[in-house]
Amino acid sequence: MMQSIEIFAGQQAYRQVAEQGIQPSDIRAIIGASGGPKWFVLSHLDRYLVDNWLPAIPHQIELIGSSIGAWRMAAYASAAPLAALEQLEYQYLNQRYSAQPTHKEVSDSIHRLLDSFIQPTDLNRHQLKKLHIVAARCKGLSQLEHRSLQALSFAAVALSNLVTRRALPLSFDRVVFQSPGARLPVAQWDQFHTEEVPLRADNYRDALLASGAIPVVIDGVRDPAGAPAGLYRDGGMVDYHFDLPIKPRQGLVLYPHFSPLLKPGWFDKPLPWRKVQASNYSHTLMICPSRAFVESLPYGKIPDRRDFERLDNDTRIRYWQTVVDRNQVIAEAFDRWVHSANPLEYLIPIETLAR
């Protein structure tokens, strides 16, 4: 029954599922992680959730994301979530670039992509669906914009992060652009200086663009309206998979994730010892594709950003489309789990992935 997905639960989430099962009205927040095209393995699960779960949630729900996760959550929060997700998928999947794309070529493509699925008027539909877009405000050497200097500066940041993640706040602040009335259930932020900025029509697009502005690849965003002055880049620099105590007073956090791996920040990806804190995930249910499902895909992996370099445009697009077509089984497996006689049977403690 559960060959396509794995479901991880924090302690409070485990207790709640044990006592009353799981239904849409239990969910108070949804997380979207950074990860670029890794998202394609979740696209049908996203469709399922916006078509079947969001309409059944009667209360305010907080949607938080960084980078592609922020774009997905923006689609969730839009006036027509299913159409927005389908447009985001189509435009991202069909990106085409020259052999040596410039900053401008990539940035122009991303601008067109964003404009294909968001509208400033989407903010008018955020009455119950509250969006939280995470971006990183650069400080020190991370503000450099010349491509080669950027690479050197971020290598220095990576080296300092190798020693301790507590060095990162010297290079980045966390800025969270939020829908009016948003209430993210985080009792206390971590070591990063964090600013919460109201989302409005004149900064909505820039917030999403900044959240996905990968260093060295895409131009950063300077001085978004209503936010502290500075250069803004990919939110994954600070919150890649999130290591924040997102704990609703009532209900749970749903986390559709692309792999059974949780890293606090982008610079932690190659560090096997750097893990999130299990206590921060006490209220979270995380759904991800199983290892068996991933191994069955072409190349034995989910899509990633290196596909732009390793594969030509046509081969990459065919591969990504195959992953999208096949991941329908993930949504079907999640639906079977929700309606199973004993959903507790399939839960894996989040402690197996966290510290």
**212-243 confidence digits (pLDDT tens):** 998 888 889 999 999 999 999 999 999 999 99
Q: How far apart are CA 353 and CA 104, in angstroms?
A: 39
Q: pLDDT, tens digit, for every residue of 290-303?
A: 999 999 999 999 99
The residue behind tokens 């594969």 is: 311
**Is residue 156 within a helix (H) or strand (E), and if so which, with residue range?**
helix 147-163
Task: Tell me what the pLDDT averaged over the chain comes to.
Answer: 95
% the chain with pLDDT above 70: 99
Mean pLDDT, rounded, for 26-44: 97
Q: How far apart are CA 279 and CA 246, in angstroms?
A: 10
Q: How far apart are CA 325 and CA 163, in angstroms?
A: 42
- pLDDT over threshold 90, residue 109: yes
Nearest to 121 by CA among 201, 63, 64, 182: 201
Q: What is the pLDDT of residue 2?
A: 62
- pLDDT over threshold 70, residue 276: yes
For residue 173, give Cα distances in angstroms to 167, 169, 192, 234.
Answer: 12, 6, 6, 12
Nearest to 10 by CA among 252, 210, 193: 252
- pLDDT over threshold 90, residue 151: no
Mean pLDDT, rounded, for 65-72: 98
Q: At how many degrees (to 10) do helices 68-77 and 81-93 cross? A: 150
Q: What is the pLDDT of residue 149?
A: 80
Q: Look at residue 138 and give its three-state secondary structure.
A: strand
Q: What is the pLDDT of residue 150?
A: 80
Burial class (CB in 10 A: 0-12, 13-18, 19+), 287: buried
Q: How far apart are CA 246 and CA 30, in angstroms?
A: 10
Looking at this protein, which amino acid is placed at residue 101? P
Question: Rounded to two decimals, what is the model's pTM?
Answer: 0.96
Nearest to 256 by CA among 77, 35, 12, 83: 35
**CA Rg, the chain, in Å?**
19
Q: 130: which residues sit within 8 A by CB, 6+ positions away? A: 60, 61, 62, 63, 77, 178, 179, 181, 182, 183
pLDDT-based confidence at residue 142 (cuts at 50, 70, 90): confident
Q: pLDDT, tens digit, for every residue of 111-125?
A: 999 999 998 888 988
Q: 176: which strand partners?
A: 134, 196
User: Which phi and psi (to 5°) does residue 37 adopt?
Assistant: -70, -5
Dihedral sign, CA of 95, 98, 100, 104? Answer: negative
Q: What is the pLDDT of residue 49?
A: 98
